[in-house]
């Protein structure tokens, strides 16, 4: 077939493989591919599924540590929580994106993003215990403000409706607003689970299948055509003119069915553990039945033979490639011994009555595991796919060209403010800085009863995962897109450092991180260079800001790459490597929040103020970006984190807050205001520095502010001294209900607490109304 004719055929059938990729298939198959096989390779060789541009670079990341039970090899990573009553427990973590779907159909896109991440964690045999939602939206006051506000509100509603319905609390999140996200919002989702090491279920066929017959059981919603081509859609540039067409690539959520599926699956776990049955289990996400079953087999060296006529469907006359590859939500695939199949079917179909929960929902046998390493599909008695299973799952790899981008913008020349109070209030009102209560009040944060610090109460969410045990888990998610715009390397370093700081500020030890890497078109050398620099930054930070009191890295245990976050006009999002940090602490009762607690206590500053205003909120409100992005010293960063952890472990720190967006002034104000404006104390601060006042107040150089009682101050200073970290007493907590700041003996502002509250509490609602 000539190239022009083949190109036309591929376009007519919505296949985005390149001509070169398509022409390589006959060599792999020994013949020309069927249409079903073309769709299979279209999905499996997509960027979303195969990581064809990123896989080689991702090998730079540290993934091993004594705390890692399972690295980024399966649906989720697992990091050690601890050993309790003789049993080793793990925290299961997965991190994904649902960016394109959420831009096109924000409610459904966000809801199904939550649904998919919950399945990833559940599939490891875990109890799902929390989620986190880092979000990036366009400029709510810009030229696309109406669309931006609609997307933001719909995304929040989608996350809330799904998470609340299935009973999973939101533990953490962050939100940034910038015009670079006008055409491509970012909806990243993190999920945590709890599992005993001995109870982990893997996403591959057990080795016992070499001796015993194993069957494939499909569980859940009846298959339809929703989400067909979703993986390929996620690997393309968004075009607003094709928005209506693209809606078909977005899945449809059903949280109430999911709730029952979770309960039924937990019962299946119990039976499997009681009977010591070896099984494999996998979520049906991108690529649907095909992707899940081919990966289950290939990962363990087995083949698969499926009969698509046995798949329960809700639509008549679906083509075989749609049945195989659609991304209908709320589905799982089991591989179980044939001797256990009927009992598993009974759990779902009778004990939990799936057919009466949702029309067409059920568990059914659709095929078997084979010892020949082929992936075979039948439809209407005809073989529509017969390919080496490793070829189906191995993907393709590219060495993309990189071209460094120079950032030429200089720091703006801004005169020192006449009225610092006005600038501080403007920063507090900025939707990126302002209280996110208008978002997280939609979420059920109390369900399951594990919360210690909820969103907004501390720099990281903190929970007590095990009843009758003191161990705590902290979760933070972070990334500043403007830092990435200036320097993709330092943007990534700062994302890792801030996520670790936020966890440390609660008293927990940063134990592992995950990354969701959101970038533009990897086929553009400049965009791929940004990605490569981001990976390098994450790797350096994870290795050099090492695990507490060791030289070991903080490992990357899960992650995701999201490319093509770019509009049809070529406008890409700022490089946005979103980092989640999971922390563990021995005693959750020692965790600390941000709100000031005691009149007369001292305020200590950790972290030197530097001229690092590049990408800051201060520059933004003056219409600039600048270039002086924070460049933390790794050794200093590590010692600061360790010092704060040790200080909080003494029980003598009353409150703790990291310094980031808005700088020192915003951090002080947030501690006085308290979560949801519950604070009723003021601060009086004296800063002595040769830097300009605006730099001291608004630089976003990393650091911490700690509240400490006067009688405990000396002990806390000794903790920092042992680590060789400078700590400065900068002021006191007062009953004045004012935020008073002096610089070199001169008062620069005295802001009534009520005015600060008004700005901080209303900034987001004004942006999204």
**pLDDT tens-place string over residues 568-608:** 888 999 999 999 999 999 999 999 999 999 999 999 999 99
pLDDT band at 252 (very low <50, low <70, confident <90, very high): low
Residues in a beta bridge with 363: 219
| 48 carries an active-site annotation | yes
Percent of the chain with pLDDT over 90: 93
Q: Give the C-alpha separation, 27 to 437, whole Å.
A: 57
Backbone torsions φ then ψ of 226, nearest 5 degrees: -70, 140
From residue 197, alpha-carbon distances to 82, 325, 406, 407, 588 in Å are: 10, 32, 48, 47, 22
Question: 25-67 pLDDT, tens per residue?
Answer: 999 999 999 999 999 999 999 998 899 999 999 999 999 999 9
Which ranges of 186-282 would DSSP assign to H, the alpha helix? 230-233, 243-246, 255-275
Give 676-726 as a 3 state SS string.
HHCCCCEEEEEECCCCCHHHHHHCCCCEEEEEECHHHHHHHHHHHHHCCCC
Instruction: Identify the sign of the CA torsion 56, 62, 64, 67.
Output: negative
The predicted structure's pLDDT at residue 256? 87
The predicted structure's pLDDT at residue 307? 99
The predicted structure's pLDDT at residue 249? 46
pTM for this model (two decimals): 0.95
pLDDT band at 247 (very low <50, low <70, confident <90, very high): very low
Q: E strand or H helix at 164, and its extent?
A: helix 145-166
Residues in a beta bridge with 215: 336, 368
The predicted structure's pLDDT at residue 241? 56
Is the pLDDT at 401 greater than 70? The verdict is yes
Backbone torsions φ then ψ of 656, nearest 5 degrees: -150, 140
Please give the CATH superfamily to which domain 429-434+593-769 belongs. Answer: PurM-like C-terminal domain (3.90.650.10)
Q: Where are the domains of the chain?
A: 1-59+201-395, 429-434+593-769
| 723 carries an active-site annotation | no
Is the pLDDT at 648 greater than 70? The verdict is yes
258 vs 647: which has the higher pLDDT: 647
**What letter would DSSP give residue 311?**
S
Is the pLDDT at 473 greater than 90? The verdict is yes
- Domains 1-59+201-395 and 429-434+593-769 fall in the same CATH topology: yes
Question: Cα-Cα-Cα-Cα dihedral of 634, 637, 639, 644, to 10°?
Answer: -160
Residues in a beta bridge with 195: 90
Query: Shortest CA distance to 159 belongs to which of 102, 231, 80?
Result: 102
Q: E strand or H helix at 84, and its extent?
A: strand 77-84
56, exposed or middle or buried, with CB in 10 Å at 0-12, 13-18, 19+? Answer: middle
Question: 682-723 pLDDT, tens per residue?
Answer: 999 999 999 999 999 999 999 999 999 999 999 999 999 999
The predicted structure's pLDDT at residue 48? 85
The predicted structure's pLDDT at residue 695? 98
519 within 8 A of 654, measured Cβ to Cβ: no
Which one from 39, 48, 202, 743 is the annotated catalytic residue? 48
Question: 59-116 pLDDT, tens per residue?
Answer: 999 999 999 999 998 989 999 999 999 999 999 999 999 999 999 999 999 999 999 9
Q: Give the C-alpha separation, 135 to 185, whole Å.
A: 8
Render 388-435 in DSSP notation, one character per residue: EHHHHHH--------------PPPP--PPPS-HHHHHHHHHHSTTTS-
85, exposed or middle or buried, with CB in 10 Å at 0-12, 13-18, 19+? Answer: exposed
Q: Give the C-alpha separation, 400 to 423, whole Å.
A: 44
Which residues are within 8 A (CB) of 411 and not within 5 positions of it... i.e. 6 or more apart?
613, 614, 619, 624, 626, 627, 628
Express the helix, strand and coil content of the chain in percent, nearest 5 each: 40, 25, 35
- Reading the block at residue 709, the tokens are 């009682």
Q: Give the C-alpha separation, 657 to 159, whole Å.
A: 27
The predicted structure's pLDDT at residue 49? 87
Q: Give the C-alpha separation, 448 to 359, whole Å.
A: 29
- Mean pLDDT in the chain? 95
From residue 96, alpha-carbon distances to 80, 110, 286, 330, 699 in Å are: 21, 11, 12, 17, 32
Please name the fold of domain 1-59+201-395.
Phosphoribosyl-aminoimidazole Synthetase; Chain A, domain 2 (3.90.650)
Which one from 39, 98, 100, 312 is the annotated catalytic residue? 98
Is the pLDDT at 562 greater than 60? The verdict is yes
The predicted structure's pLDDT at residue 258? 87
Percent of the chain with pLDDT over 70: 97
Q: E strand or H helix at 617, and its extent?
A: helix 617-621
Q: Give the C-alpha separation, 753 to 459, whole Å.
A: 21
- Reading the block at residue 54, the tokens are 């990123």
The predicted structure's pLDDT at residue 698? 99
Question: Cα-Cα-Cα-Cα dihedral of 299, 301, 305, 310, to 10°?
Answer: -30
Q: Three-state SS for 484? A: helix
Q: Give the C-alpha separation, 354 to 265, whole Å.
A: 12
Is the pLDDT at 6 greater than 70? The verdict is yes
**What letter would DSSP give residue 456?**
T
Is the pLDDT at 138 greater than 60? The verdict is yes
Backbone torsions φ then ψ of 25, nearest 5 degrees: -70, -40
């Amino acid at each position: 077939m000539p190239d022009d004719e083949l190109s036309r055929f591929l376009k007519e059938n919505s296949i985005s493989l390149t001509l070169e990729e398509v022409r390589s298939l006959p060599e792999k198959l020994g013949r020309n591919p069927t249409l079903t096989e073309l769709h299979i390779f279209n999905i499996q060789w997509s960027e979303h599924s195969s990581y064809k541009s990123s896989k080689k670079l991702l090998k730079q990341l540290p993934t091993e540590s004594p705390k890692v039970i399972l690295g980024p090899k399966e649906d989720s990573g697992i990091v050690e929580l601890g050993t309790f009553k003789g049993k080793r427990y793990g925290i299961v973590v997965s991190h994904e994106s649902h960016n394109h779907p959420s831009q096109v159909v924000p409610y459904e896109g966000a809801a199904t993003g939550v649904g998919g991440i919950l399945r990833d964690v559940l599939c490891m045999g875990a109890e799902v215990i929390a989620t986190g939602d880092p979000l990036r939206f366009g400029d709510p006051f810009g030229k696309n403000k109406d669309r931006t506000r609609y997307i933001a509100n719909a995304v929040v509603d989608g996350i809330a409706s799904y998470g609340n319905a299935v009973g999973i609390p939101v533990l953490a999140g962050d939100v940034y607003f910038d015009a670079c996200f006008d055409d491509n919002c970012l909806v990243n989702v993190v999920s945590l689970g709890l599992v005993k090491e001995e109870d982990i279920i893997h996403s591959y066929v057990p080795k016992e299948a070499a001796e015993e017959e194993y069957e494939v059981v499909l569980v859940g919603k009846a298959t339809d055509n929703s989400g067909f081509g979703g993986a390929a859609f996620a690997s393309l540039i968004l075009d607003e003119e094709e928005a209506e067409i693209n809606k078909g690539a977005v899945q449809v959520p059903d949280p109430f069915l999911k709730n029952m599926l979770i309960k039924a699956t937990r019962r299946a776990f119990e039976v499997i553990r009681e009977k010591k049955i070896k099984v494999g289990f996998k979520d049906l996400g991108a690529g649907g039945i095909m992707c899940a079953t081919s990966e289950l087999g290939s990962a363990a060296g087995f083949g698969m033979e499926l009969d698509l006529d046995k798949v329960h469907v809700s639509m008549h006359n679906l083509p075989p490639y749609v049945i195989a590859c659609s991304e209908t939500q709320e589905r799982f695939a089991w591989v179980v011994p044939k001797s256990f199949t009927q009992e598993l079917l009974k759990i779902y179909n009778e004990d939990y009555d799936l057919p009466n929960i949702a029309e067409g929902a059920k568990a059914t046998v659709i095929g078997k595991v084979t010892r020949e390493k082929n992936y075979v599909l039948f439809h209407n008695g005809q073989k529509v796919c017969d390919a080496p299973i490793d070829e189906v799952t191995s993907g393709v790899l590219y060495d993309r060209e990189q071209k460094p981008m120079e950032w030429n913008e200089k720091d703006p020349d801004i005169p020192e403010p006449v009225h610092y109070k006005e600038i501080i209030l403007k920063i507090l009102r900025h939707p990126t800085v302002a209280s996110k209560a208008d978002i997280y009040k939609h979420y059920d944060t109390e369900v399951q009863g594990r919360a210690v610090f909820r969103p907004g109460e501390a720099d990281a969410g903190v929970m007590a995962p095990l009843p009758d045990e003191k161990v705590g888990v902290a979760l933070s998610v972070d990334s500043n897109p403007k830092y990435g715009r200036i320097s993709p390397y330092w943007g990534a370093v700062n994302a890792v450092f801030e996520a670790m700081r936020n966890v440390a500020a609660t008293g927990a030890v940063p134990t592992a991180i995950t990354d969701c890497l959101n970038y533009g078109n990897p086929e553009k050398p400049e965009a791929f260079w940004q990605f490569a620099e981001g990976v390098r930054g994450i790797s350096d930070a994870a290795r050099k800001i090492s695990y507490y009191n060791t030289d070991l890295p903080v490992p990357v245990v899960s992650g995701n790459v999201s490319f093509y976050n770019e509009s049809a006009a070529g406008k890409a999002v700022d490089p946005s490597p979103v980092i989640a940090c999971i922390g563990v602490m021995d005693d959750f009762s020692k965790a600390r929040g941000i709100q000031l607690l005691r009149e007369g206590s001292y305020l200590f500053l950790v972290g030197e103020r530097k001229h690092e205003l590049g990408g800051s909120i201060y520059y933004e409100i003056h219409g600039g970006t600048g270039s002086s992005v924070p460049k933390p010293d790794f050794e200093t960063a590590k010692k600061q984190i360790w010092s704060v952890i040790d200080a909080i472990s003494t029980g003598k720190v009353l409150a703790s807050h990291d310094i980031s967006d808005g700088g020192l002034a915003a951090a002080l104000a947030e501690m006085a205001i308290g979560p949801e404006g519950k604070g009723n104390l003021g601060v009086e601060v004296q800063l002595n520095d040769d830097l300009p006042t605006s730099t001291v107040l608004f630089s976003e150089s990393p650091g911490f502010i700690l509240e400490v009682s006067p009688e405990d101050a000396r002990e806390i200073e000794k903790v920092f001294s042992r680590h060789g970290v400078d700590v400065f007493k900068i002021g006191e907590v007062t009953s004045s209900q004012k935020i008073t700041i002096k610089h070199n003996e001169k008062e620069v502002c005295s802001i009534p607490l009520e005015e600060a509250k008004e700005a901080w509490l209303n900034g987001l609602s004004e942006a999204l109304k």
